[in-house]
Amino acid sequence: MRTIQFREAVCEAMSEEMRNDESIFLMGEEVAEYNGAYKASKGMLDEFGPKRVIDTPISELGFAGVAIGSTMTGNRPIVEYMTFNFSLVGIDQIINNAAKIRQMSGGQFNCPIVFRGPTASAGQLAATHSQAFENWFANTPGLKVIVPSNPYDAKGLLKSAIRDDDPVIFMESEQMYGDKGEVPQGEYTIPIGIADIKREGSDVTIVSFGKIIKEAYKAADELDKENISCEIIDLRTVRPMDHEAILNSVKKTNRLVILEEAWPFGNVATEITYQVQSQAFDYLDAPIEKINTADTPAPYSPVLLKEWLPNSEDVVKAVKKVLYK
């Protein structure tokens, strides 16, 4: 098993699928000549040429529409947004076209497309470049939403997303592209909609996804010193959500903490809370705790940003609250 970076796992997934299927192409800002804003498409222009690795104008609405339209003529595009904050410029195409083509055409057209790029905060990028939109897209019927947390999951899930016949939102992080992890040389995929128990435990279930799950790992290490056993579930896929994995874990631990890098109102954690309380209420020994960012736009100041973001100390406090309240 070799160790590679997150960006390399993304590049490998796209390249392998493009070698196997000539209908797949990549388009977005700086994906070609510059090898990608975060070097996630490094070398792909040289291998596949400018007709399949396409630099676009700074016009997210335009190139999202071009890509979606191309699916109706048999193509399977991958659209890279430099950040999902920029997807708001093209969100009309995603929500009103990509997500609805199958239904509105009476099943005559699929829309096999992947929209990928980084989500949430990435340091001092200020309020308009530090937003998590997983719950926005997951709210839309017709879209699948994937948020991997490590190189292995990123490659396997991206390959599955590219092969899927429905539109997939694939969300990464600027702060994960350099992360390293073990990734097999051979072919593999990870099914969409299956969560992963990253750490077995008996006292409390912690559910998270994306880069913020690292704070859960830190907290679990600290809590282990106090003989508190945490089970950590990585959702991997926000929609469809693996309710069964969460419910089974809660039935074992009887306590739930949800860690999410998003605003507290109407988010993924809220949906998980509802599902657990409606299907496993009698198993809960304490109210569910959810941890989110502060309910404000992201600050620029590094001191304020540290306070705004969830961290491992927040997780430790939440775990102790559900254990000892």
The DSSP element (H or E) to which 304 belongs, if any, is helix 302-308
Strand order in the sheet with 204-208: 196-199, 230-234, 204-208, 256-259, 289-291
Q: For residue 189, is it within any domain?
A: no
Q: For residue 190, is it within any domain?
A: no
Identify the bridge partners of residue 2 per DSSP, sorted by sequence position: 183
> In CATH, what number is assigned to the domain containing residue 290?
3.40.50.920
Q: For residue 31, is it within any domain?
A: yes
Could you read off the pLDDT of 227-258 as tens digits, one per residue? Answer: 999 999 999 999 999 999 999 999 999 999 99
* Phi, psi dihedral angles at 178 (to 5 degrees): -90, -5
Mean pLDDT of the 23-36 span: 98
Is residue 211 within 8 A of residue 49, CB to CB? The reply is: no
Q: In 129-226, where does DSSP find H-type helix?
A: 134-138, 151-163, 213-224
DSSP state letter for 56: -
Is residue 28 within 8 A of residue 63, CB to CB? The reply is: yes
The residue from 129, 260, 261, 289 that is catalytic is: 129
Whether residue 118 sits in one domain with residue 9: yes
Mean pLDDT of the 119-143 span: 95
This prediction's pTM: 0.97
The residue from 60, 215, 261, 289 that is catalytic is: 60
Distance of CA 132 to the CA centre of its chain: 10
Is residue 6 within 8 A of residue 177, CB to CB? The reply is: yes
Amino acid at 294: A
Is residue 309 within 8 A of residue 121, CB to CB? The reply is: yes
So what's the pLDDT on residue 305?
96
Whether residue 301 sits in one domain with residue 220: yes
Spatial separation of the C-alpha atoms in residues 229 and 244, rounded to whole Å: 21
Give the list of residues 6+ apart from residue 37 with CB closer than 8 angstroms, or none: 29, 30, 82
Q: Which three-class secondary structure state does DSSP give residue 313?
A: helix
Q: For residue 132, is it within any domain?
A: yes
Q: Which of 177, 172, 185, 171 is nearest to 136 (CA)?
A: 171
Residue 325 has pLDDT above 80, yes or no: no
Mean pLDDT of the 116-120 span: 97
The answer to whether 60 is a known catalytic residue is: yes
> In CATH, what number is assigned to the domain containing residue 60?
3.40.50.970
Residue 1 has pLDDT above 90, yes or no: no
Q: For residue 126, is it within any domain?
A: yes
So what's the pLDDT on residue 220?
98
Could you read off the pLDDT of 56-96 as tens digits, one per residue? Answer: 999 999 999 999 999 999 999 999 999 999 999 999 999 99
Over its C-alpha atoms, the chain yields an Rg (Å, rounded) of 20
Task: Locate 194 and state its tokens.
Answer: 């299956």
Whether residue 204 sits in one domain with residue 166: no
- Provide, rounded to the nearest whole percent, the portion of the chain with pLDDT above 70: 100
Spatial separation of the C-alpha atoms in residues 169 and 46, rounded to whole Å: 26
Spatial separation of the C-alpha atoms in residues 93 and 9, rounded to whole Å: 28
Whether residue 144 sits in one domain with residue 14: yes
The DSSP element (H or E) to which 55 belongs, if any, is strand 53-55
The DSSP element (H or E) to which 45 belongs, if any, is helix 44-48
Q: Show the domain range for 312.
A: 196-324
